[in-house]
């Protein structure tokens, strides 16, 4: 047996090498499954099931939204959802008091996991204000889980956390994603936790990616040459409500992603995608270029 092996076979069939990580080494389903089968509080619970990191991640996101009083941007919400994602790849949620005793090797490994996850999902770095709000939400979740899931007494919570800010209402109940058959603070079965986490991950990833693409395209369009801008009947605004972002794939397999900036308009005001139209893209040139798409022979999908 090799003594230097540090890879695991994931349910997708991919190999995850924990010492030689790549951003494409796992699927979203793999991550959701890993987080749903990784347990907080050392796997201990007063319920019949332990609490998964997947459910905890959804709880922290819900608390953070409530603390803000407004809906987080998709990019900020995705960063919040994935704050413990490294634990799902590692398959281990270390209890906080033990972490300082695991040494530099453990710290290097978790840092590598976090950097690779940030690269995979294009996560923004925390600024000081956002990080403090995140830690507040994470702390509220931990205190409340200690009481409602792990069965800690109020004295134990005060001794460990220095305060008793226990939430009484499960933030995943009511208008949140909690299925009505589950009691407040009840740990979900792994399959349910994985499905709920995956739905959030996919929705936020897609929306955040669209926002990032539109922002980059709007910047490139603002700096584009006059010759390019003169050929366009509309601008790239960086606004999902005004820009029509598409992926166009030619019969030879070549594809481009960009915003429609010229073409025919349907009676309802939408772009006619089965005719000839122009898209502005930065796929091959960071400064931007125009591509003519012949909709009748291309596969055109809105992003």
Q: Model confidence over 28-37: pLDDT tens digits?
A: 999 999 999 9
pLDDT tens column, 172-216: 986 555 566 689 999 999 999 999 999 999 999 999 999 999 999
**What is the pLDDT of the chain when averaged over all its residues?**
92
pLDDT class of 3 with cuts at 50, 70, 90: low
pLDDT of residue 162: 87
47 Cβ contact partners less than 8 Å away, ≥ 6 residues apart = 149, 186, 187
* Other beta carbons less than 10 A from residue 45's beta carbon: 19
pLDDT of residue 179: 61
pLDDT of residue 2: 53
Average pLDDT rounded to a whole number, residues 63-78: 92
pLDDT at residue 71 is higher than 90: no
Whether the CB-CB separation of 38 and 92 falls below 8 Å is answered with yes
C-alpha–C-alpha distance, residues 17 and 21, integer Å: 6
C-alpha–C-alpha distance, residues 120 and 13, integer Å: 19
Single pTM value for the model:
0.86
Q: Which of 9, 205, 216, 206 is nearest to 117 (CA)?
A: 205
Q: Which of 197, 199, 210, 208 is nearest to 83 (CA)?
A: 197
pLDDT class of 163 with cuts at 50, 70, 90: confident
C-alpha–C-alpha distance, residues 21 and 15, integer Å: 10
Both tokens assigned to 284: 């091959």
pLDDT of residue 97: 78
pLDDT at residue 296 is higher than 70: yes
Average pLDDT rounded to a whole number, residues 226-236: 95
Exposure pattern of 58-73 as b/e (b: 16+ CB <10 Å)? bbbbbbbbeeeeeebe
299 phi and psi angles, rounded to 5 deg: -90, 110
Which of these ranges, 11-20, 90-99, 115-124, has the smallest mean pLDDT?
90-99
pLDDT of residue 174: 64
pLDDT of residue 103: 82
- How far CA 102 is from CA of 38, 55, 63, 93, in Å, comes to 19, 25, 30, 13
**290 - beta bridge partners?**
280
Delimit the domains of the chain by residue range.
7-188, 226-302
**CATH number of the domain at 7-188, out of 3.90.1580.10, 3.40.50.1220, 1.10.3210.10, 1.10.1200.30?**
1.10.3210.10
pLDDT of residue 96: 78
pLDDT at residue 116 is higher than 80: yes
Residue 274 is given by DSSP the state T
Average pLDDT rounded to a whole number, residues 222-239: 95
pLDDT tens column, 238-270: 999 999 999 999 999 999 999 999 999 999 999
pLDDT at residue 5 is higher than 90: no
To the question of domain 226-302 being in CATH 2.30.30, the answer is yes
pLDDT at residue 1 is higher than 60: no
Going by their DSSP bridges, the two strands 245-249 and 255-263 should be labelled as antiparallel
C-alpha–C-alpha distance, residues 112 and 8, integer Å: 16
C-alpha–C-alpha distance, residues 299 and 302, integer Å: 10
């Amino acid at each position: 047996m090799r003594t230097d092996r540090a890879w695991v076979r994931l349910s997708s069939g991919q190999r995850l090498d924990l010492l030689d990580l790549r951003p494409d080494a796992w699927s979203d389903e793999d991550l959701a499954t890993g987080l749903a089968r990784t347990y907080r509080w050392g796997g201990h619970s007063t319920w019949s099931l332990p609490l998964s990191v997947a459910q905890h991640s959804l709880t922290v996101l819900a608390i953070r939204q409530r603390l803000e009083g407004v809906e987080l941007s998709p990019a900020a919400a995705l960063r919040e959802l994935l704050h413990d994602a490294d634990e799902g790849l590692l398959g281990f949620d270390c209890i906080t008091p033990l972490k300082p005793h695991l040494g530099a090797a453990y710290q290097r490994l978790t840092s590598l996991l976090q950097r690779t996850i940030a690269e995979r999902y294009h996560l923004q770095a925390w600024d000081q204000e956002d990080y403090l709000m995140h830690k507040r939400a994470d702390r509220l979740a931990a205190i409340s889980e200690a009481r409602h899931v792990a069965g800690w007494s109020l004295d134990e919570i005060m001794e460990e956390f220095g305060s008793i800010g226990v939430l009484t209402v499960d933030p995943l109940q009511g208008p949140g994603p909690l299925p009505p058959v589950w009691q407040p603070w009840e740990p979900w079965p792994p399959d349910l936790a994985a499905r709920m986490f995956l739905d959030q991950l996919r929705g936020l990833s897609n929306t955040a990616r669209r926002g990032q693409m539109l922002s980059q395209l709007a910047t490139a369009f603002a700096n584009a040459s006059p010759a390019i801008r003169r050929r366009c009947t509309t601008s790239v605004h960086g606004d999902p409500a005004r820009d029509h972002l598409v992926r166009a794939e030619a019969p030879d397999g070549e594809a481009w992603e960009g915003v429609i900036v010229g073409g025919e308009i349907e009676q309802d005001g939408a772009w006619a995608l089965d005719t000839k139209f122009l898209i502005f893209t930065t796929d091959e040139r960071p400064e931007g270029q125009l591509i003519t798409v012949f909709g009748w022979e291309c596969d055109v999908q809105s992003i």
